[in-house]
Amino acid sequence: MLEELLDANKEYAGKFALAGLAPRAAKGLALLTCMDSRIEPLAMLSLKPGDAKILRNAGGRVTPDVLRSLVFATSFLGVDSVVVMQHTKCALSQLSELDVESHLRSAGLEVGDWEFLTMEVPDEALASDVEAIRSCLSLPPGLTVQGWRYDVDDGSVAQIIL
**CATH code of domain 23-161:** 3.40.1050.10
d(C-alpha 108, C-alpha 97), whole Å: 17
- Average pLDDT, integer, range 122-131: 98
Residue 62 CB partners (closer than 8 Å, separation 6+): 32, 84, 128, 129, 132, 133
What pLDDT is recorded for position 142?
A: 94
Q: What is the pLDDT of residues 49-93, one digit of tens each?
A: 999 999 999 999 999 999 999 999 999 999 999 999 999 999 999
Q: What is the CA radius of gyration of the chain?
A: 18
Q: How is the chain split into domains, by residue range? A: 23-161
Q: How confident is the model at residue 99 (pLDDT cuts 50, 70, 90)?
A: very high
